[in-house]
Amino acid sequence: MLSIDNLHASVEDKSILNGISLDVKAGEVHAIMGPNGSGKSTLSAVIAGNENYEVSEGAILLNGEDIGELDAESRAHKGIFLSFQYPVEIPGVTVTNFIKTAINASRKAQGLDEMPAKEMLKKIREKATLLEIDSRFLSRSLNQGFSGGEKKRNEIFQMAMLEPKLAILDETDSGLDIDALRIVANGVNKLRNENNAIVVITHYQRLLDYIVPDFVHVLHEGKIVKSGTKELAMELEEKGYDWIKKGA
């Protein structure tokens, strides 16, 4: 699904990613962990196509196609989704209208007609029910006045609607209490299937109790310094990141 080979990226001449290689297959969940400043969020931004970062070396392939030169919207059309740590507030545009705009933009890019209103509504209802989202929530302005939990749940709702091939969840657990975390994680688990892949980016292990990864990678100074299974996350939780830093 996703194949990253020797990826180097920098922002304003400051090198942040220093040769990352990663293979994610359909049906897998990968966790990327690491201390603050290790490059976790940069990696997600670069995969999603943030133009603030300069990719100097390496390649990002999605199902064999090099997407390195594509802009963010084209990557979204090809099935990449990024759940933001800090989603943006858009007053005056309801959750429903926003998702309609997004879905139809993707359909247009693929040469399809707009999704009929009836079908759209059905899908919205279906996904809202799946994620236990109240219908009143859908007519509120996007993220405006939302609690931390509501913002994250809204991100997962968008993921459910857009049905990406590859979803990157950037610090989805930050700012959530344990109940909100459980709801969001349950939502993600319901969306997991054989055909999609999920990359979970997190500082702490606790999210991984709910979204159980197949593989765990530890990022340090812009490189993957250790890879393993979910037990690695447990070890990190116990020992902290210092032993990784020392070993690096």
CA atoms within 13 A on the CB side of 149: 14
CB 12 within 8 A of CB 42: no
Nearer to other proteins, 30 or 75 (CB): 75
Q: How far is the CB of 212 from other proteins (least distance, A)?
A: 26
Retrieve residue 161's tokens: 């609607």
Retrieve residue 73's tokens: 């919207």
Q: How far is the CB of 101 from other proteins (least distance, A)?
A: 6
Nearer to other proteins, 48 or 130 (CB): 48
Q: How far is the CB of 34 from other proteins (least distance, A)?
A: 22
Count of Cβ atoms closer than 10 Å to residue 239 Cβ = 10
Binding site for other proteins (CB under 8 A): 45, 48-52, 71-73, 75-77, 80-82, 84, 86-94, 96-98, 100-103, 105-106, 109, 117, 158, 162
Phi-psi region of 21 (alpha: psi -120 to 50; beta: other; left: phi over 0): beta
CB 59 within 8 A of CB 65: no
Nearer to other proteins, 97 or 237 (CB): 97
Q: How far is the CB of 56 from other proteins (least distance, A)?
A: 20
Q: How far is the CB of 242 from other proteins (least distance, A)?
A: 32
Q: How far is the CB of 20 from other proteins (least distance, A)?
A: 20
Nearer to other proteins, 59 or 90 (CB): 90
H helical segments located in the chain: 40-48, 72-77, 95-109, 117-130, 135-138, 148-162, 178-191, 230-239, 242-247
Residue 16: CB partners within 8 Å, gap ≥ 6? 9, 10, 39, 42, 53, 222
For residue 208, the SS3 value is helix
Nearer to other proteins, 36 or 88 (CB): 88
Retrieve residue 8's tokens: 């180097």
Nearer to other proteins, 65 or 89 (CB): 89
Nearer to other proteins, 4 or 103 (CB): 103
Retrieve residue 225's tokens: 């310094």
Q: How far is the CB of 236 from other proteins (least distance, A)?
A: 28
